[in-house]
Structure 1
Amino acid sequence: MASSQAIHTFCSQLDASPSQRDTVEKYAKAIHEVIMDIGGKIAESMGLKGDYCKEWPCQFRINKYHFTPQSVGSAGVQLHTDSGFLTILQDDENVGGLEVMDKSGEFIAVDPLPGSLLVNLGDMATVWSNGRLHTVKHRVQCKEAKTRVSIATFLLGPKEEAVDPPPELVDSDHPRLYNSFTYEEYRKLRLSTKLQAGEALALVRT
């Protein structure tokens, strides 16, 4: 998302009109600034200094669900966690379906709230924070036979470097919990094992 050329290519794939292209480019720039700001504030809240996520790649995705009468009651997206560090979601303001799992295993509906953005943490946040931050399990259920659209921005993790917790977050009271690996290695691990709801974290523990 930090690349204007990548956004241009994305718009071309959508066959976007000049007006649509202008909207997407402005949105991408603004939401990229927001996710970088939130990432920086998370680090700051943990007593860390420095630009920990400024060079981390971001991914922009538009999800479109064609819910039919036959699909009502089924899953639009199965239970999962996001593999990256941080997600900002602009959910459909008219069609619900997003549900998050609480600590007891119960699902809580996240009803559409016009003008809002949803923020949640992914698996990389758990690894990077040495277990202090927790990933969020969620799913999308088909509630009604309508088209549902959501726009997601993912702050993934270091592009080539290993995902290691800052030294300040590792001490005798908080020993290192996870082995060193890259985001891409972890993404491939999730795909190969089909462990999409945070279970893959157990495979990379020390």
Structure 2
Amino acid sequence: MKVAIVDDDPIVCSSLGTILTATGTAEVIWTAHDGETAVAEYERHEPDVLLIDVQMPGMDGLEASSRILHAHPQARILILTTFADPDYIRRSIELHTRGYLIKQDVASVIPAVQAVMAGQVVLGAEVLQNLPLSGDAGQPVGSAGSAPVEENPRFSSLTDREREIMALVAEGCDNRQIARELFLSEGTVRNRISDILAKTNIPNRTKLAVEWLSCH
């Protein structure tokens, strides 16, 4: 796997690169420290997965992601930042990036990169707690003062086991973590999530988590 890292702190780029290469997860083919350089480098050397920060001098990570995705709609971009800001998260989801992680959760970087490479969408637990609800004036999920809501009818046909899996998906767990927690195989978890997506007619894991959190 070939990965690129964009962060205004060279030490972060170096540290992430060391983690990814030392574990044999990926080869880091280039790094950049601002959005404009990231866009230019992506055109020259397209990575399998791009890790990018949000706040950087000049063009920020979200604008850079927007430009890259406009030219390369299938780009696998993983936002890696210190800010679980609802507006940043909303913009990231609207851009159809493949994930949003908080930097402090370094242990999640390797499984997140692997999941994104496998076509999954990854959101950290802290990010899921700050997802903005559409039509809710930007108020994040689970914030104080939010009115109780009834469960979305889409979830009415789920089995008890599927509900257990959904709760863990909404907490930001990946398939391996869910399998370990529920004593299932990863293949079973993957199949159950596919069944849930089909039953609820929700297109992907991110929107699945958003819908679940909006009514639980």
Q: Could you say which TM-score interval applies, normalised by the shorter chain?
A: under 0.3
Structure-2-length-normalised TM-score: 0.26
Structure-1-length-normalised TM-score: 0.26
Question: Which structure shows the higher helix fraction?
Answer: 2
Larger RCO (alpha carbons 8 Å, 6+ apart): 1
